[in-house]
Amino acid sequence: MNLQYPRSENKTHQHRVKIQRRLIILLPVIMGGLAFLLLFTSFQPIVAQSSEEYAQINSISPNHFAELPNQIAGEASQTKASPQMSDGPQYTWADELGLQESSQRLAENSSAAYAATSTEYEDLSQWSHKGAGSNNWTVYNNGTAVKQIGNTQPSTFFISPDSYRSVVMTGKFKVENDPTDDDNDFIGLVLGYQDPLDSSNSYSFVLFDWKKEVQSHCGYTGQEGFGLMKVDSTYDSSLGTCDSIGKWYWKYFWGHQELSSEFELLDSQFGSGGWEEEKEHEFEVMYQSNRIKISIDGSVIFDESGSFPAGRVGFYSFSQSHATYYDVVISGAPLEENMIWGHDDNACFDSGLMSTRGSAGKPIDTFNGNLNFKSTDLSIPVQGCQLQFTRSYISAATDVYTTTLGHGWTHNYDMRLHLSGTALSDTVELQIPNGSRLPFYDNEDGTFTPYAGVTAELTQISNTYVITSSNQKIYTFDSLGLLLEQQDANGNVITFTHNVTNQLTRVAQGSRYLDYTYNLDGRVSTVTDNLGRDVELGYNNDGNLVVVTNTLELETNYYYSATQPVTPTHYLTEVVDPSGVTIEKTAYDAEGRAYQQWDGEDNLLVDIDFSLENTRVVTENGIVMTHTYNARNTLIGTEYSCTDGTTGCGTGGGNRYDGNFRQDQVVDANDNAVDLVWSANGSNLEQVTDELDQETTLSYDAYNNLTQVVNALDKTTSYQYDNEDFPTFLTSMTDALDNTTIYTPTTTSDGVPGLLKQQRDPNGRLTTYTYNDFGQVMQVVQAAGTSDAITATYGYDAVGRLITTTQQSAAESHTSLNVYNDGDQLIATINNWTGSNPANWETDCDTSSGSRDTNVCTQYDYDNAGRIISTTNTLGQTTLSFYDDAGRSFLSVTNWDGSSYGQSDPVGDLCNFTSPNSEFNLCAVTGYDVYGRVVTSTNSLGYETVTEYDSLGRIDRTIVNWENGVYSSADPDADIIAEYEYDAVGNVIVTTDTLGLETRTFYDVLNRVEGSISNWDGSATLASCATLPPERDENICTQYEYDAVGNTIIVTNTLTQTTRTFYDDLNRVQASVSNWNPATLDEPGDCVISATNSNSENICTLYGYDDA
């Protein structure tokens, strides 16, 4: 059997006929096409230059540099995956579903495969006749249609060349009028087809058939309507023959008789609803190992659960001529719901899955109403990842996750393999840190095939299982599926210990750890770190997590619906933080879907209408939109709805996804597209093409390390990984000017292996790094080995918090101190600290009046919700911050004078806007609308700025120094108005100032400013600018031109004078030429640099750079 996995089109594969058709999908550009334009720049290693930056660094690895494209593109690609996952040929795309055809044949003995997504109609000329019936199948219309031209008995099949385990197939069929034979028999589809492939008499497949009218023949009655049958039988000649064929066919295929496990009638709709002659019918089939869903003309006929085999797909006819099947599209596996239970992946584990769903609020999946809530209670830096305790609530999993943290809850180290009872048959499921579950099909040889979109690998070695994630981390599980060990690409290990009842009791690396204890019901009751700080968890009698007490002994409370949709319920309805503020409040419909959400002031922020099958009407923050999903349960369209005619209403943007659920195309609301090409396994982004057909290409090695970037100007940046001990370590980078930076890794003799030990730039300057046992940077020496060396030294406490930072040169040394409370909140910083013991920081903290150079102290106070409520600087001056019941900052008081105030009206108690003090109690007040948008801002003098929004949430008008909102020339300093108009994408196209003067801005297809016209008369265009008189008061034009990587190269002013900017291969400015004359200056080398140069054109400014 030739099972199908996402494959790439190549010259030898001819199973698809390309039908050119422009796809227009409406969906917001959630990934952001412009983000990919950043890929066009050369990727340079980033070395932090300040203590603030280093405070966020646990370890430095050149792999961070190689991963820059992923970070820039919103984690759009992964630069590392298992060595076994090699890159494949490029994709092609189908226009119908917005999905990608990408599949790879597996060996015949492989038991798992998926259909990839097709952008082309199936080439039916590659399909073939099977079965005992005559071969009267005729392919036509360039392979996109096939007709059964004969009234053939017995059953005849027309079968695909490839087999599928999980597939979505769509198409059309019609029975044409046969003037020689007015027939009324069976047409249909076969799924999971395995036999007969030759002349054998065995039959194995799932059959969907449809008969026009009821009819009896050979003693059996063929019913009008639909049938769904699972067949696993061998032809039985002992039943005799009738009408020249065996009665076996009449009994089972015609009469739908059942026979033990050989002929199982799964479902039927007999008695009416037969097909109509000369009518085009549309079909859609979702076929999986555990489910079959079949729709005809938009209506669901069957939705059946069970266990179904992998196999080929095809068409069926029994005694029916002139049945035509056409415009067939085979697309990828649908997205399993439990694969995306969690809102996002833990940073330590890379599943390879990317977001393919719309969300609203905090957040709710707009396809299925799944609410996800996440909170991190403890976090300790270690090498390879953070030790964290992060809880995730999943409303769709309240009956699945019931014990460890109560119903619906899981945590990041509850990661395990589920070896039985999985959603799909013949699979093992990996429960990942966010609670999602990733299926792997068992190949029954110690290997497993991951579901489409999953880039991790699973293998079985004796009684253990090993997961290798796409970021090269290795997870080892025992025979029960319990996680034993996590190892990063450099061999650094985190260990997991379980008790005799298989409960996780410790997660550790060296002396840093988290310990877990449980109550009598088997639920986590405490989590304690190596400092002895603990988090306590409490539950009610229904098994719901109701309270979490943090390390500061402050409680967050969780509430659940008492009545809907069932009693008792486990649906999380409200989260209240330790200050008593409601973080979120959620309601569920009768089917358990979250559909409404409020803030702490009971403002309705989210409302989702689930009444349509594949379309959701979503109202979020007052903006109404529709989300449209396809058969793969992926979001393919968003359209904004409003009644005021605002530009952008009725439009949106669009995404397309390939067979691995990767974005293949991002389309903005003006129908401008960014096209993306991914590797065959979905790990690596290989090509980005914008609407102007400007391409950036990316290449990778066998470990999926990024090795080369070629931008749209054909300039190359290359990356090398030459250390055999650390195959994912970046050893050198060469830019487009052939300048090379060299990186050297640490080894086991340095303590923690595989981190950046030395970096030598193209000028030979050396930077060195040392680390502690947990991979945190202890020292960085810039210009090492020279008299100009600058050394930064970092000190940490037992849980990895940055305590001291010392910057030292040959001439001076400065130390800063950070102080934390038990909740990891920064409560003080002391710059130029002269003390010796951090525990004595309060003595060292100088807040006396007067200037000082040492012990410059800033202190912070927090409320119970962890928000800063006061900041006191080194002079003792304090700024107060106040928050409303929705947790938003509404008042800031600078230089508080110490006067008393109440929480009910701090504005009235502290602020005087009529006679403000010029030094103390400088107030800034912020007002919000019911959707949380800023609508008023009042400064300390009482001047108010008002902001108004259009129906799509964009700023419509601002009024500075608001009095009544109407500008008057008699009071020109009040009610200063600016109004804005937008195109469908959201670019500002017209700005109108308070005098009514307009500025018109034009954009190209990449949404770059193409030009602007000040004092616009309402009709002038950029094209007309050159025809306008040179001296004018209106229509003042400025125009811009760009090179292929987005650098501004030409600016033309309203007098048609141009400034030309030239760039080197690293996109740095080489020269700027004012009053440029292209006829006399073609490149910077043509510039005349002379003190006596008196030319009025080609006035040059040149720039030079060193190699670094």
Which residue(s) pair with 700 in the sheet?
Answer: 706
Query: Is 898 among the domain residues?
Result: no
Q: What is the pLDDT of residue 656?
A: 85
Which residues lie closer than 8 Å to 609 by C-beta, 6 or more apart? 595, 616, 617, 618
Q: Which residues of the chain have a pLDDT value below 50? A: 1-118
Q: Does one domain contain both 298 and 398?
A: no
Instruction: Report yes or no: 992 and 982 within 8 Å, Cβ to Cβ.
Output: no
Number of domains in the chain: 4
Q: Does one domain contain both 309 and 410?
A: no
Please report, for residues 175, 180, 323, 324, 883, the alpha-carbon distance to residue 278 in angstroms, rounded to integers and kept in the order given.
6, 15, 10, 10, 68
Q: Distance between CA 324 and CA 187 in Å, rounded?
A: 9
Which residue(s) pair with 166 in the sheet?
Answer: 114
Q: What is the pLDDT of residue 97?
A: 26
Position of tokens 């107030």?
923
CB atoms within 10 A of CB 932: 15
The helix (run of H) or strand (run of E) holding residue 842 is helix 841-844
**What sign results for the dihedral spanned by CA atoms 1081, 1084, 1086, 1091?**
positive
Q: What is the CATH number of the domain that holds 139?
A: 2.60.120.200
Read off the pTM: 0.82
Query: Is 1074 among the domain residues?
Result: yes
CB atoms within 10 A of CB 990: 16
Q: What is the pLDDT of residue 1022?
A: 96
Long-range contacts of residues 296-304, Cβ cutoff 8 Å, at least 24 apart: 296/210, 296/226, 301/226, 301/269, 302/208, 302/226, 302/228, 302/266, 302/267, 302/269, 304/228, 304/266, 304/267
The helix (run of H) or strand (run of E) holding residue 442 is strand 437-442
Q: Does one domain contain both 466 and 324?
A: no
Q: Distance between CA 635 and CA 486 in Å, rounded?
A: 34
**Strands, E assignment, 974-1078:** 976-982, 988-992, 998-1003, 1009-1014, 1036-1042, 1048-1052, 1058-1063, 1069-1074
| Torsion angle of the four alpha carbons 405, 410, 415, 421, in this order, in degrees rounded to the nearest 10 | 90
Q: What is the pLDDT of residue 94?
A: 26
DSSP conformation class of 458: E
The helix (run of H) or strand (run of E) holding residue 249 is helix 247-249
Q: Does one domain contain both 320 and 409?
A: no
Q: Does one domain contain both 325 and 343?
A: no
Query: Is 214 among the domain residues?
Result: yes
| Torsion angle of the four alpha carbons 461, 467, 468, 473, in this order, in degrees rounded to the nearest 10 | -120
Query: Is 581 among the domain residues?
Result: yes
Query: Is 934 among the domain residues?
Result: no
Say whether the peptide bond before residue 196 is cis (omega within 30 degrees of 0). yes
**What sign results for the dihedral spanned by CA atoms 559, 564, 565, 567?**
positive
Q: Distance between CA 733 and CA 720 in Å, rounded?
A: 6
Instruction: Report yes or no: 126 and 314 within 8 Å, Cβ to Cβ.
Output: no
DSSP conformation class of 907: H
Q: How many CA atoms lie within 13 A of 24 on its CB side?
A: 7
CB atoms within 10 A of CB 897: 11
Among the candidates 630, 658, 675, a domain finishes at 630
Query: Is 976 among the domain residues?
Result: no
Among the candidates 331, 360, 386, a domain finishes at 331
Q: Give which of 238, 269, 264 is closest to 252, Cα–Cα.
A: 264
DSSP conformation class of 253: I
Q: Distance between CA 902 and CA 537 in Å, rounded?
A: 33
Instruction: Report yes or no: 85 and 704 within 8 Å, Cβ to Cβ.
Output: yes
Q: Distance between CA 816 and CA 830 in Å, rounded?
A: 5
Alpha-carbon Rg for the chain in angstroms: 34
Long-range contacts of residues 738-744, Cβ cutoff 8 Å, at least 24 apart: 739/1107, 739/1108, 741/45, 743/45, 743/62
Burial (CB < 10 A; 0-12, 13-18, 19+), residue 539, is buried
Q: How many CA atoms lie within 13 A of 820 on its CB side?
A: 15
Q: Does one domain contain both 230 and 349?
A: no
Please report, for residues 167, 236, 239, 291, 675, the alpha-carbon distance to residue 233 in angstroms, rounded to integers and kept in the order given.
24, 9, 14, 21, 48
If DSSP codes are grouped into helix, strand and coil, which group holds residue 1045?
Answer: coil
Q: Does one domain contain both 403 and 461?
A: yes
Domain interval for residue 171: 121-331
Query: Is 642 among the domain residues?
Result: no
Q: Does one domain contain both 287 and 194?
A: yes
Digit-coded pLDDT (tens) for 801-851: 999 999 999 889 999 999 999 999 999 999 999 999 999 999 999 888 888
Q: Does one domain contain both 325 and 342?
A: no
Query: Is 1102 among the domain residues?
Result: yes
- The token pair that represents 66 in the structure block: 């190689």
Among the candidates 284, 312, 331, a domain finishes at 331
Q: Distance between CA 475 and CA 348 in Å, rounded?
A: 11
The helix (run of H) or strand (run of E) holding residue 906 is helix 906-910
Q: What is the pLDDT of residue 8?
A: 29
Which residue(s) pair with 549 in the sheet?
Answer: 536, 555
Which residue(s) pair with 1073 in the sheet?
Answer: 1060, 1100
Which residue(s) pair with 475 in the sheet?
Answer: 467, 486
Q: Does one domain contain both 227 and 277?
A: yes
Position of tokens 């909102």?
965
Q: Does one domain contain both 68 and 156?
A: no
Burial (CB < 10 A; 0-12, 13-18, 19+), residue 184, is middle
Q: Does one domain contain both 288 and 356?
A: no
N-to-C CA span, the chain: 57
Query: Which parts of 14-144 fold into alpha helices (H)?
Result: 33-37, 51-54, 62-66, 68-72
Which residues lie closer than 8 Å to 462 by C-beta, 6 or more apart? none
CB atoms within 10 A of CB 279: 10
Q: Distance between CA 268 and CA 498 in Å, rounded?
A: 50
Q: Supply φ then ψ for residue 186, to 5 degrees.
A: -95, 135
Q: Supply φ then ψ for residue 1026, to 5 degrees.
A: -70, -20
Q: Distance between CA 756 and CA 735 in Å, rounded?
A: 19
Q: Distance between CA 819 and CA 828 in Å, rounded?
A: 5
| Amino acid at the residue 958 | T
